Amino acid sequence: MDGMPENLREVANEYWGTYPPQHPLLIDIIGILFFFLFLINVIGNGLVIYIFLRVKALRTPVSNISYFPNNFDSVQNIDRQTCLWSTWLSQIC
């Protein structure tokens, strides 16, 4: 249980202390990975916005109407996942 504050060690189960300590560079590697994923996402979304603003044919009402149901469906899925997560959590507690 390396890196854990002393006041929390008494709360944690001793089972977790049986694992070997993690490599010290693991957190840095994960941080670098997330940074590169962030850059890829920003570049990709910026490219989509740039193309949408540059190409006049994409600004038609039909393309806007076909875009909004996809967003609405995503919001519904997030709501379902939240509901499932809270239901699952209530069974654990």
Q: Domain for residue 29, yes or no?
A: yes
Q: Is residue 5 helix, strand or coil?
A: coil
Q: Domain for residue 59, yes or no?
A: yes
Q: Domain for residue 90, yes or no?
A: no
Could you give the number of structural domains in the chain?
A: 1
Q: Domain for residue 38, yes or no?
A: yes
Q: Domain for residue 11, yes or no?
A: no
Per residue in 2-60, pLDDT tens?
778 888 888 888 898 888 888 889 989 999 999 999 999 999 999 988 988 888 877 77
**What pLDDT, on a 0 to 100 scale, did the predictor assign at position 58?**
74
- Find the largest Cα–Cα distance for the chain: 64
| Structure-token match 């670098």, residue found | 32
| Structure-token match 């997330």, residue found | 34
Which structural domain, as residue segments, surrounds residue 53? 21-63
Q: Domain for residue 87, yes or no?
A: no
| CB-based contacts of 17, cutoff 8 Å, min separation 6 | 1
